[in-house]
């Protein structure tokens, strides 16, 4: 009797008041046995799936950043500067920005 193959999923979701949401789900078959070769194969597949997910997330976020820049250019202030502070965005990349009082 063949071993029953189960799968596990991981999901990344993005939601913003200014951009369209997106969700990315990757499904992987779990190891059919507890053997080292099966676990190794699973971990290799997981690593590949994480890299693919990261690349897709980066593409999606870059696209949304371009949308934000375009909106900022349209809504720019009187001196023609973008409403998005590029230096601040770069400094806080990957982190939640702390509001200054």
Q: CB neighbours (10 Å) of residue 72?
A: 16
pLDDT at 84: 59
Tokens linked to 59: 């593409």
Cα separation, 58 vs 93, whole angstroms: 12
Query: What are the backbone angles phi and psi of residue 13, rounded to the nearest 5°?
Result: -130, 140
pLDDT at 1: 45
pLDDT at 93: 73
Cα separation, 49 vs 2, whole angstroms: 26
Burial of 69 (0-12, 13-18, 19+ CB in 10 A): middle
pLDDT at 25: 95
Q: pTM value?
A: 0.63
pLDDT at 90: 73
> For the chain (length 101 residues), average pLDDT per consecutive 10?
75 90 93 93 94 95 89 66 66 67 53
> Measured on CA atoms in the order 45, 46, 51, 52, is the torsion positive or negative?
positive
Q: String of b and e for 30-67 (b: at least 16 CB within 10 Å)?
A: ebeeeeeeeeeebeeeeeeeeeebeeeeeebeeebeee
């Amino acid at each position: 009797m063949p071993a029953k193959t189960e799968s596990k999923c991981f999901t990344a979701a993005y939601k913003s008041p200014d951009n369209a949401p997106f969700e990315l789900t990757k499904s992987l078959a779990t190891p059919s046995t507890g053997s080292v070769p099966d676990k190794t194969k699973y971990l290799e597949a997981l690593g590949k799936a994480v890299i693919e997910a990261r690349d897709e997330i980066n593409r999606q976020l870059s696209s949304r950043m371009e949308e934000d820049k375009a909106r900022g250019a349209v809504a720019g202030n009187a001196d023609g500067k973008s409403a998005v502070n590029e230096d601040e965005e770069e400094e806080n990349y990957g982190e939640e920005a702390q509001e200054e009082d």
